[in-house]
Structure 1
Amino acid sequence: MRIEAEHARVLASTAFHRAGVAEEAAHTAADVLVITEMMGISTHGLNRVETYCTRIAAGGVDPHAMIDVQMPALALRRVDGRNGLGPVTAMRALDEGQAAARAAGVGAVFVKGATHIGALAPYLWRAAQSGFAAIITTVAAPMIAPPGGKDALIGNNPIGIGVPIEGRDPVLLDMALSVVARSRVRAARDAGTAIPADWALDVHGQPTTDPAEALKGVLQAIGGAKGANLALCLDLLAGGLSGATTLGKIADQHKTPSRTQGLGLMFLLIDMQALGDGAASNAALKDAVEQVEQSAPADPATPVRLPGARALSQMRLSERQGLEVPPPLLSKLEVLAGV
């Protein structure tokens, strides 16, 4: 069923408000999830409203959390989300990072006490709209084994990189360090379909095409040991430096919704104007992305596409045509919103 994005925002915001979240925070979280949905990232969009509300009811998310911010240095911020609604904490961290970058040219924000913040692309897009390049990462519940191991210990710790380019769309890279996100494995399980053998390992450390067995085992990291070690190092940065919960001690929001996660986040912001000689930088950026776009495609029917191009194209389409929301999901949103 197709609905306007604003209607989706009202439903999501009302659902969060009814769950006990303050009105302004409810609007913030709803906006992040609707932008995500508009970008076509449905695994992290409106379906997360029910997940977050369930965790609020179970006690895993504090709807009344008051975010604490400290400034140990001009370019640094420490944020404690106190296990409040993840997108609200993340947007506050983004705002603090931009403020630090305006003052010092660069801003680094280390967050503890966060909960699931959704996709990274909306935050990267917001930063780019304000003229900031950004690197964002978050720890996640364990789902990847360390090199040589078979037990889940490391999260698939997504990393996002956003680069604004004057006169054209920004480059937005948002990727987890597993071959696929666990949400895609859950979707395959719910749909009763098999998964590719390179997505996950079962509890015996063997490749599996059964999504149910994959969810009992571990996801495979991109690039094997290189991807697993990169995920580990991101955990050390986002989790360790922020003083957050790390690695195998992070609770799974789906298996144990009543447990707080205490996730760590890291936001690095660069004020593009502070670099000086913006015309030269922008010309170099435009030249680089045009080289990519003009490179010969392996399949003539599929042009080479920059990171984020599909999401931004889908967002513009959603602005014109609204959102295609499956009827069961819309019904859930209406129930949560009390409609």
Structure 2
Amino acid sequence: MQQDRITVSEAELRQLGVRAFQGLGLTEGDAIDVIDILVLADLFGLSTHGLSRIESYGERLQSGGISARPTITVERAAPALVKVDGGNAVGPLAGMKALRAAMEVAEEFGIGMAFVRGSNHFGPVSPYSYIAAEAGFASMIGSNATTTIAPWGGSDARLGNSPLGFGVPGHDGRHFLLDMAMSVAARAKIRNALKAGQSIPDSWATDAQGRRTTDPKAALDGFLLPIGGHKGYGLALMVDLFAGLLSDAAYLTHVKSWVDAPDQPQNLGHFFILVDTRRLGSAQWLAARMQDFAAILHGSAPAEPGKPVIVPGEIELDKLARQREKGIAMDPAVKALLDRHANAKTN
């Protein structure tokens, strides 16, 4: 519940998070990379993908399913193409290494791409898009995931709820940030409906036999439905082709479930495509066009009073500004777990 949350400053949370991941075996530099992504997720209000991930990441680090001291390699496969082997690192660490590599080649050639293999869950996409946008890069970023979606017309899980995101630098830091997964609804929403004794729309999931259901329990035993029906199914496949197959990572059912096999590497894959917008025109040119772009959308009269048109990233950036000023609202249990790992720091 929101009223049960505690408020922690960004600086305090960053320091605590770094110490906690050091307690789990990471070097200070690697822990900082992980925290850069997870704290941004919390600042954006994406608490399910922020430092609450210390629980699942920590369990896999302690069981050996994730390497605390990975050997990450970066190979230039072509002038503007980079291949990154994450060495079974914590996902945000591999993600940050790849983002920097893609930014480096994009700055050199105007466009750059990094393929990542040997990684794990890398958090939400929007923090990476935000970091890229702050540096003047437009981005398209994706990752594959553990299987939770059945093929269109199928009756068992064969593909993941693979996230895809886009970012374009906006006027005065108001970047456009789209971050979406491929299912109509997250499993967390279905679990919440089950706890509340409520039914769910039949567009959210199927039962174990692949039939649409309004029963949240049956849905949790079944499969998530993709956005846009067969179109979402196709989009999820394309993300996995880029993130998994082309990167030489695992793909589809080859991806290990960290629930069923927590001590085994997932070998997830990601891709980062970056465009240096400074090659297209001046910062003032882009800012003016982006300001006009947003104004056209905001100028549409709301269909419902009090619910104005918003653009992708607006909600997250508003939360970022508010929480940077007033502190980050977080679950006390997450704070306690961070404290426990931080106090176990030995390196």
Q: What's the TM-score once normalised by structure 2's chain length?
A: 0.93
Shift of 1:174: 0.3
Q: CA deviation at 1:311?
A: 0.4
State how far apart, in whole Å, the 1-side matches of 2:228 and 2:325 are.
Answer: 38
- Sort the Cα spacing of 1:276 and 1:118 in 2 relative to 1 into closer, same or farther, 3 A: same
Q: Distance in 2 between matches of 1:105 and 1:80?
A: 23
Indicate yes or no: 2:278 matched with 1:269.
Answer: no
- Seq. identity, %: 40
Structure 1 position 289, deviation (Å): 1.6
CA contact (8 A) 1:144 1:219 kept: yes
Residue 58 (structure 2) pairs with residue 50 (structure 1): no
Is 1:126 aligned to residue 126 of structure 2?
A: no
- CA 1:290 to 1:112, structure 2 compared with 1: closer, same or farther past 3 Å? same
Tell me, in whole angstroms, the C-alpha distance in 2 between the residues paired with 1:187 and 1:11. Answer: 29
User: Could you tell me whether the CA contact under 8 Å between 1:43 and 1:184 is conserved in 2?
Assistant: no
Counterpart of 1:167 in 2: which secondary structure? helix
Offset at 1:201?
1.0
TM-aligned CA deviation for residue 35 of structure 1: 1.1
Is 1:12 aligned to residue 21 of structure 2? no
Decide which of 202, 216, 235 is 1:197's aligned counterpart.
202
Distance 1:213 1:333 in 2: 34
Correspondences of 1:166-185 after superposition (within 5 Å)? 166-185=171-190
Partner Cα separation in structure 2 for residue 78 and residue 134 of structure 1: 17
* Change in CA separation of 1:298 and 1:240 when aligned onto 2, cut-off 3 Å: same
> Match for residue 294 of structure 2?
289
The one-letter code matched in structure 2 to 1:167 is: D
Give the one of 253, 273, 297 matched to 1:248.
253
SS in 2 for 1:336: helix
Equivalent residues in 2 for 1:1-339, closer than 5 Å:
1-186=6-191, 188=193, 194-276=199-281, 279-338=284-343
Alignment size in residue pairs: 339
For 1:277 and 1:334, the matched residues in 2 are separated by: 46
**Could you give the per-residue CA deviations for residues 152-200 of structure 1, whole angstroms, max 9, x where no partner exists?**
1111111100000233401000000111233444455567665443221
Name the amino acid aligned to 1:241. L
User: In the aligned structure 2, how far is the partner of 1:231 from the partner of 1:97?
Assistant: 23
**Helix, strand or coil: the match of 2:152?**
coil
Query: For the structure 1 residues 277 and 336, does the alpha-carbon distance in structure 2 shift closer, same or farther, using more than 3 Å as the test?
Result: closer
Question: What amino acid is aligned across from residue 78 of structure 1 in structure 2?
Answer: K
Q: Which amino acid aligns with 1:173?
A: L
3-state SS of paired residue (1:107): strand
Q: Are the counterparts in 1 of residues 156 and 209 from structure 2 also a CA contact under 8 Å?
A: no
1:44–1:118: 8 Å Cα contact kept in structure 2? yes
Aligned-partner Cα distance in 2 for 1:19–1:212: 35
| Partner Cα distance (2:199, 2:18) in 1 | 35
C-alpha separation between the residues in 1 aligned to 2:212 and 2:96? 38
SS at structure 2 position matched to 1:148? coil
Decide whether aligned partners of structure 1 residues 119 and 21 sit closer, same or farther in structure 2, where only a CA change above 3 A counts: same
Distance 1:94 1:293, change over 3 A: same
Is 1:50–1:336's contact at 8 Å kept on the other side of the alignment? no
Q: In angstroms, what is the RMSD of aligned CA positions?
A: 1.8
For the residues of structure 2 that align with 1:114 and 1:292, how far apart are their CA atoms? Answer: 38
- Unpaired segments ≥5 residues, structure 1: none
Q: Residues 207 and 133 (structure 1 numbering): CA distance in 2 closer, same or farther, change over 3 Å?
A: same
Structure 2 regions of 5+ residues with no counterpart?
A: 1-5
* 2:3 aligned residue: none
How far the C-alpha of 1:310 sits from its partner, in A, is 0.3
| One-letter amino acid matched to 1:306 | V
CA distance, structure 2, for counterparts of residue 22 and residue 62 of structure 1: 12
1:217-237: CA deviations, max 9, x gaps? 110100011101110011111
